[in-house]
Amino acid sequence: MDIVFRAIVIFFFVLALMRVLGRRELSRLEPFDIIILVVIGDLVQQGVTQNDFSVTGAMLAVGTIGVLTVGASWASWRFAGVRPVLEGRPVVLLEDGKPILDNLKRERITVEELAAQARLSELDSLDKIRWAVLETNGRMSFIQK
């Protein structure tokens, strides 16, 4: 039972950590970021199992994390009130060609990065955009005027 309890604690810690890191960082993984995620995964595994190398311990840890993941997904689908906590909300970064600086600052995105993403979406000027939205999955959506 100790492994299940520790898996539950680690699950919620990792969930909170991912929310703090922000969508932008998770949507643009560099090679170093992938290595860090693998290292975090290894550290989490060691923390959950306390170096228990048994098949039972591994099945308990993975099963608990799997059940919690499905449970969080179900709760997000079933209860609208928990959805913003688990998934976040879309953030409007630009409206009628004008950047919303407070939202950009909160998401740690520069106007130059916003313009670069617009160019990748084949929009040559921010003035041509009605809304730019940072979606909950970390990607930017652009709606033209």
- Predicted local confidence at residue 24, as pLDDT: 54
In this structure, which topology does domain 91-144 adopt according to CATH?
Answer: CRO Repressor (3.30.240)
Domain range summary for the chain, segments of one domain joined by +: 2-87, 91-144
- Predicted local confidence at residue 126, as pLDDT: 94
Q: Give the Cα separation of 104 and 114 in Å (integer).
A: 9
Nearest to 4 by CA among 46, 59, 43, 41: 59
- Provide the 3-class DSSP secondary structure of residue 46: helix
- Predicted local confidence at residue 61, as pLDDT: 78
Q: Give the Cα separation of 70 and 19 in Å (integer).
A: 18
| Structure tokens that stand for 38 in this block | 């693998």
8 A C-beta contact, residue 118 and residue 126: yes
pLDDT in tens, the chain (145 residues): 788 888 888 888 888 877 776 665 555 666 666 676 777 777 777 777 777 767 777 778 778 888 888 888 899 899 999 988 888 889 999 999 999 999 999 989 999 999 999 999 999 999 999 999 998 878 899 999 8
Count of other CB atoms within 10 angstroms of residue 96: 10
In sequence order, the 6+-apart residues with CB closer than 8 A to the CB of 133 are: 90, 91, 92, 93, 140, 141, 142, 143
